[in-house]
Amino acid sequence: MKRVNTSPISGMQELLPEQQATFNQLRENIADVYRQHGFLNIETPIIDRCEILLAKAGGDTEKQIYKVVKTAEANEGADQALRFDHTVPLARYVVEHESDLKFPFKVSQIGRNFRGERAQKGRFREFYQCDVDVIGRGSLPLYYDVDVLMTALDALKKMDLETPVVARISNRKIVTGAIEALNLQDLAAEIYNIIDHSEKVPAEATVAALDEIGLSKENRNKILALMQLSGGVDEVVNGLKALGVVGETFDSGVEELAYVVSMLEKGGFAEMARADLRIVRGLDYYTGTVFEFCLPEHMEVGSIGGGGRYENLAEYFTDLRLPGVGASIGLSRLFYVLTENNLIKSQVEKAVDVAVVPITEAELPYAMEVAAKMRGEGKITTVIASDKKLGDKLKYAAAMAKHGVVLGETEVTSGKYEVRDFS
Amino acid sequence: MKRVNTSPISGMQELLPEQQATFNQLRENIADVYRQHGFLNIETPIIDRCEILLAKAGGDTEKQIYKVVKTAEANEGADQALRFDHTVPLARYVVEHESDLKFPFKVSQIGRNFRGERAQKGRFREFYQCDVDVIGRGSLPLYYDVDVLMTALDALKKMDLETPVVARISNRKIVTGAIEALNLQDLAAEIYNIIDHSEKVPAEATVAALDEIGLSKENRNKILALMQLSGGVDEVVNGLKALGVVGETFDSGVEELAYVVSMLEKGGFAEMARADLRIVRGLDYYTGTVFEFCLPEHMEVGSIGGGGRYENLAEYFTDLRLPGVGASIGLSRLFYVLTENNLIKSQVEKAVDVAVVPITEAELPYAMEVAAKMRGEGKITTVIASDKKLGDKLKYAAAMAKHGVVLGETEVTSGKYEVRDFS
């Protein structure tokens, strides 16, 4: 036997046909909901210039991005790469096509992105992301933060999963405002980082980390109290007010958070939306609303999506001010959690409705005719023309299809046939 | 103004939202028809090992393939690359998952492939291909050549294009058999090449080329007569018989071609299927049936797809014999021709059914409620929350949506509103 390694590269999610059918159904449901909410779909190229993709240099991106070279040019520098998210290509797209778009531009993108990270459970190198974004020209009302959140939550709701899904929502102005009010600006990056990591370490470690960067006991306790706030909008807003922090940024963050969460509650998503001050979304480019989607019963996998408000989508490409807000569902990871934990029923038991089985070659043309008729009735129909014995053909037919039609001389002559149930 | 080049890399097909909607509709129609014919959809990773993708080395592939390196490893050799078609990853997939699949394995793949060719009109570096393949284990009846052709033709037919589409079908055994019978085996590659290029050069150049490689006048005329045969099955078979070529391979090729074309005629595709001996599909791995899809009124763009029978899908990866047959629609190129020549109506005039316009912030919660109700009725609905004046909001609404609902205090109080027609 030849021995070539035919497994996919590690970190790729390669599915069998039945799994793929379930995956596709989830993806199509998401696309449907996004469309229902008035988002226009676009696709950007998977390959783009490094100049574009790495315009905002630094961070993990530069370490994880896949660069692309052509064989014939392998010795030249690679100046093209694979997109690692949908946001950067969207920024290029909006600037490039600005005069052809209507703003606010409600846009959806569903496709694969690429990051050369270390492959781990639920963390893929090639992964589907399903994004909705709203881009304004000049300004963008806060309502659109609600719009993208509601759209993504509606998509998750319609999946009818056997486990709850929630959006944990915060607003970066609250933490930024608290840092300002407490005069801790010099420690902003460290504080963000400690909050961001606080769920991965024991509570004592977070306390210790805040002490270590030199916070007074009072300030440390304020930050700790702040990050522990989570729940419904009234509860969290009262908690925030009780902190005794005063300042414009802070107040504006509290107000925005209250607006976003309460609008979601009014909009029928009370069970799926909660304020949660631990959400900061790393050191990302978000400036206001931030959120993560998660499965509270399966926190081990991390978030299954998220997003937020950014003040300027394309600051590296244009002087136009393009504020935006986006939400993304990480479909590959979500699918992984759902299948690993048996949280999703395989939606398609057998892919084929009817298998038409001609007994010999002679009945093939009639089999084609019967199959075409069945398809005309909307049935997924296949003709089985294997050169095996009838018994083997029927076994194969029964494995593939819900129903079968066997066609011999009699059926051809009479034009009558029986549809058997294979279930 | 900042001046960053925000155009996509040359050779990429980046569409505006309305074009993308039309493109998506074509793609979904193809996916639907493939499913209706009983093909199971799969997706393989876009990145794969060079060892797999370049197993069959040589030819243009090696020159055109995009290799992939990670930034952090930019100085190491690139041992991963982007798939350039669906067939090679399918070969890996079938070998890897063989024990989980049922054979004949009817499989569809719809996605982007990548080739670093020189970008030309209708020739993209990143392009969608929509493939159906049937893979047998050990053997595969000739009927499946009909099955894939019929499926692809059905997909093209259902697009309801404003220009005819035909499959030009041949069988490589005919040319191979003629070459054997005329004792020209040493010139086989050259003869294939001359036939393959004959449509791109004047007729005299083909005659001269056949003379140049040293064919006798009689043999040259036989090859010329052979390659000029095209049309319905009877006409072409009679023409082939009249050539006076005798041999097993030749006869078997004629028989297979007659079977495939006549079955398509019987199956309702007489107008779309014709035998055409000029089709050889380059020096590809095909061994029997070969075909190309084209738009006879737009031959300048070349074929818009094709395929054929291959005796062994995965000979580089396994000793298993896996004969197969596949058909591929080149959707990016097809879409390009259709739009360049106005051969397709934009299928979606306005993407949004209803725009709900609250007059002030105060009506937003009620607007969300009305929008949710509309969506429940299956209408694509968006809420317009712009901070512009009402006139501007209505202008935007009318540009996006077929209908509009304006909500002020009166509507909120009465719970009654009017749906206006924007068309």
Note whether A25 and A100 are same-domain residues.
Answer: yes
Q: Other C-beta atoms within 10 Å of A387: how many?
A: 14
Does residue A321 lie within any of the structural domains?
yes
Residue type for position A242: A
Flag if B67 and A52 touch (Cβ within 8 Å). Answer: no
| Band of residue B74 on the pLDDT scale cut at 50, 70, 90 | low
CA distance B111 to chain A (A): 10
Phi, psi of B110 (to 5 degrees): -130, 115
**Cβ–Cβ under 8 Å, residues B110 and B27:** yes
Note whether B396 and B371 are same-domain residues.
Answer: yes
Note whether A145 and A183 are same-domain residues.
Answer: yes
Note whether B150 and B258 are same-domain residues.
Answer: yes
pLDDT at residue B423, rounded to an integer = 79
Which of B1, B3, B4, B25 has the most A C-beta neighbours within 10 Å, making it the best mutation to test the interface with A? B4
Domain extent at residue A408: 352-421
Q: Which residues in chain A have Cβ-Cβ distances shorter than 8 Å to B133?
A: none
Does residue B4 lie within any of the structural domains?
no
Last residue of a domain, one of A312, A340, A368: A340
Note whether B220 and B364 are same-domain residues.
Answer: no
Note whether A289 and A323 are same-domain residues.
Answer: yes
CA distance B25 to chain A (A): 11
Q: Which residues in chain B have Cβ-Cβ distances shorter than 8 Å to A44?
A: 8, 14
Q: Which residues in chain A have Cβ-Cβ distances shorter than 8 Å to B141?
A: 385-387
Q: Which residues in chain A have Cβ-Cβ distances shorter than 8 Å to B6?
A: 52, 92-93, 95-96, 317-318
Does residue A272 lie within any of the structural domains?
yes
pLDDT at residue A302, rounded to an integer = 87
The pLDDT of residue B27 is above 70: yes
Which of A5, A6, A380, A422 has the most B C-beta neighbours within 10 Å, making it the best mutation to test the interface with B? A6
Strands (E), A259-345: 273-276, 289-294, 305-310, 324-330
How do strand A40-41 and strand A105-114 relate by DSSP bridges?
A: parallel
Distance CA A52, CA A80 (A): 9
Q: What is the pLDDT of residues A379-423, one digit of tens each?
A: 999 999 977 899 999 999 999 999 999 999 999 999 999 999 997
Note whether A415 and A327 are same-domain residues.
Answer: no
Q: Other C-beta atoms within 10 Å of A390: how many?
A: 15
How many CB pairs (< 8 A) connect A and B? 281
CA distance A414 to chain B (A): 19
Q: Domains in chain A: how many in total?
A: 2
CATH number for position A211: 3.30.930.10
Span B345-349, mean pLDDT? Answer: 66
| Band of residue B116 on the pLDDT scale cut at 50, 70, 90 | confident
Q: Which residues contact B58 (CB under 8 A, 6 or more apart)?
A: none
Does residue A414 lie within any of the structural domains?
yes
The pLDDT of residue B72 is above 80: no
The pLDDT of residue B206 is above 90: yes
CATH number for position B386: 3.40.50.800
Last residue of a domain, one of A317, A340, A363: A340
Span B197-209, mean pLDDT? Answer: 93
Does residue B85 lie within any of the structural domains?
yes
Q: Which residues in chain B have Cβ-Cβ distances shorter than 8 Å to A21?
A: 40-41
Flag if A47 and B147 touch (Cβ within 8 Å). Answer: no
Q: Supply the DSSP symbol for A8.
A: P
Last residue of a domain, one of B312, B340, B368: B340
Note whether B100 and B226 are same-domain residues.
Answer: yes
Distance CA A22, CA A12 (A): 17
Flag if A267 and B369 touch (Cβ within 8 Å). Answer: yes
Phi, psi of B383 (to 5 degrees): -105, 130
**Predicted ipTM?**
0.93
**Cβ–Cβ under 8 Å, residues A86 and A331:** no
Q: Please, what is the end-to-end C-alpha distance for chain A in angstroms? A: 38
Does residue B346 lie within any of the structural domains?
no
pLDDT at residue A77, rounded to an integer = 65
**Cβ–Cβ under 8 Å, residues B90 and B313:** yes
Does residue B245 lie within any of the structural domains?
yes
Note whether B334 and B375 are same-domain residues.
Answer: no
Q: Which residues in chain A have Cβ-Cβ distances shorter than 8 Å to B8?
A: 44-45, 48, 92, 96
Q: What is the pLDDT of residues B243-287, one digit of tens each?
A: 999 999 999 999 999 999 999 999 999 999 999 999 998 766 899
pLDDT at residue A423, rounded to an integer = 79
Note whether B359 and B332 are same-domain residues.
Answer: no
Segments in chain A below pLDDT 70: 1-2, 57-59, 71-77, 283-284, 346-348
Does residue A113 lie within any of the structural domains?
yes
Q: Other C-beta atoms within 10 Å of B234: how many?
A: 13
The pLDDT of residue B107 is above 90: yes
Distance CA B406, CA B422 (A): 12
Note whether A327 and A227 are same-domain residues.
Answer: yes
pLDDT at residue A115, rounded to an integer = 92
pLDDT at residue A388, rounded to an integer = 85
Residue type for position B139: S
pLDDT at residue B388, rounded to an integer = 85
Span B76-94, mean pLDDT? Answer: 90
Per DSSP, the residues of A28-55 read HHHHHHHHHTTPEE----SEEEHHHHTS
Flag if B368 and A74 touch (Cβ within 8 Å). Answer: no
Residue B287's alpha-carbon distances to A347, B180, B249, B252, B340, in angstroms, are 39, 15, 11, 12, 35
Note whether B205 and B234 are same-domain residues.
Answer: yes
How much is the pTM? 0.94
Flag if B68 and A80 touch (Cβ within 8 Å). Answer: no
